[in-house]
């Protein structure tokens, strides 16, 4: 694919992209999403809002992708990502005004297609970052290339928001959803049950990679529920547990001792729900703590990347994206992710109960 910059497109497309990138993004209250009633009128209003808002968010990212440092803009994987964003921008801007339910249904189908188009963004960005690491050296931390890390945080936070808005609207059309669901949001999400599912998935990956997996003990009240997006919570716990499984198994692989179990503890607080994941995998050196949030750092060898995001969970580690993106997922909903390391590894996932938390717009 020949590289084309925004300026290379037809003058009206380039001008439209630039003008949209100057407009302010409009955040959505997560409580508003949760309280949404999918009547025909509300779905029409939602579609009209997305028709106006999504091109602005996409344009912001396109202009950033045009101006990255260290030659990252010219990497072929980054050019591919930018092309997807431009294609989606053009599709949205060329879609006519949404005036009735038939228009809304057609627009919802377009949103579904756009979401599918962007499915491989993370793995493709990983290819671009891997090429950058090869250019500037593998032992790079967050403090060495702050512009890259700041961009990646903004880019992936925006991606989380875009996919949340699109996914929420599309999910409103799914028939026979459980009564506790409002689009992607479950008003009765069980962190213990979601942890169980995420742990099982992580253990499958660990067993596939190493032929064995440590035990994981989960503590908490399985009857406790709160409002959250189960797919996001599953993603975060999966990444954290996967890291712990690998650390413990690698440390005890060549010993005669059985690997100690990993502990997942769910604690219900007045304002937050906290999930603590602890292991005895040896911890992280103090000098390495700041690096774990770097997109250019991993404690494991970087595996090959196929360009297909659906292949990524089959690898245990090596991309360097798991922890920083998990922290962004937590922060998108007003929470946070903290990691402490002594003889072992403790990750604290703080989840804010979905109230009047506004989207964090990069």
Cα 311 from chain centre: 16
Contact yes or no for 186/171 (Cβ under 8 A): no
Q: Give backbone dihedrals phi and psi of 226, rounded to 5 degrees, phi first.
A: -155, 170
Location of structure tokens 């009209």: 48
Of the listed 64, 239, 280, 359, which one is catalytic? Answer: 239
Of the listed 23, 115, 173, 235, which one is catalytic? Answer: 235
Q: State the number of CA atoms in the 13 A half-sphere of 276 facing the CB.
A: 14
Of the listed 243, 291, 329, 350, which one is catalytic? Answer: 243
Of the listed 118, 133, 232, 242, which one is catalytic? Answer: 242
Catalytic, 235? Answer yes
Contact yes or no for 305/134 (Cβ under 8 A): no
Location of structure tokens 């407009």: 23
Catalytic, 51? Answer no
Catalytic residues, by residue number, are 235, 239, 242-243
């Amino acid at each position: 694919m020949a590289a084309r910059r925004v300026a290379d497109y037809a003058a009206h497309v380039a001008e439209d992209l630039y003008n949209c990138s100057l407009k302010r993004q409009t955040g959505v209250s997560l409580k508003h999403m949760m309280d949404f009633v999918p009547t025909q009128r509300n779905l029409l209003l939602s579609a009209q809002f997305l028709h106006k808002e999504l091109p602005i968010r996409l344009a912001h990212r396109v202009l950033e992708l045009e101006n990255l440092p260290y030659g990252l803009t010219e990497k072929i994987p980054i050019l591919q990502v930018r092309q997807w964003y431009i294609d989606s921008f053009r599709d949205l801007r060329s879609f006519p005004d949404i005036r009735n339910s038939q228009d809304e249904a057609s627009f919802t189908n377009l949103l579904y297609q756009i979401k599918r188009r962007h499915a491989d963004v993370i793995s493709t960005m990983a290819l671009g970052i891997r090429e950058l690491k090869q250019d500037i050296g593998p032992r790079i931390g967050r403090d060495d290339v702050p512009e890259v890390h700041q961009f990646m945080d903004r880019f992936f936070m925006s991606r989380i928001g875009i996919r949340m808005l699109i996914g929420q609207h599309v999910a409103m059309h799914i028939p026979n959803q459980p009564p506790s669901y409002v689009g992607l949001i479950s008003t009765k999400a069980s962190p213990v049950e979601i942890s169980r599912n995420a742990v099982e998935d992580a253990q499958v990956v660990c067993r596939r990679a190493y032929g064995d997996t440590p035990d994981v003990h989960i503590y908490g009240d399985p009857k406790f529920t709160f409002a959250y997006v189960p797919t996001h919570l599953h993603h975060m716990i999966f990444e954290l547990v996967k890291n712990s499984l690998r650390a413990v198994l690698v440390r005890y692989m060549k010993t005669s001792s059985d690997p100690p179990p990993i502990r997942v503890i769910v604690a219900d607080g007045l304002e937050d729900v906290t999930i603590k994941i602890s292991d005895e995998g040896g911890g992280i050196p103090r000098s390495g703590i700041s690096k774990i949030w770097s997109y250019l750092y991993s404690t494991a060898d970087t595996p090959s990347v196929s360009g297909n995001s659906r292949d990524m969970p089959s690898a245990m580690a090596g991309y360097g994206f798991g922890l920083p993106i998990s922290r962004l997922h937590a922060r998108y909903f007003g929470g946070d992710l903290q990691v402490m390391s002594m003889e072992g590894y403790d990750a604290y996932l703080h989840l804010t109960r979905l109230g009047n938390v506004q989207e964090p717009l990069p």
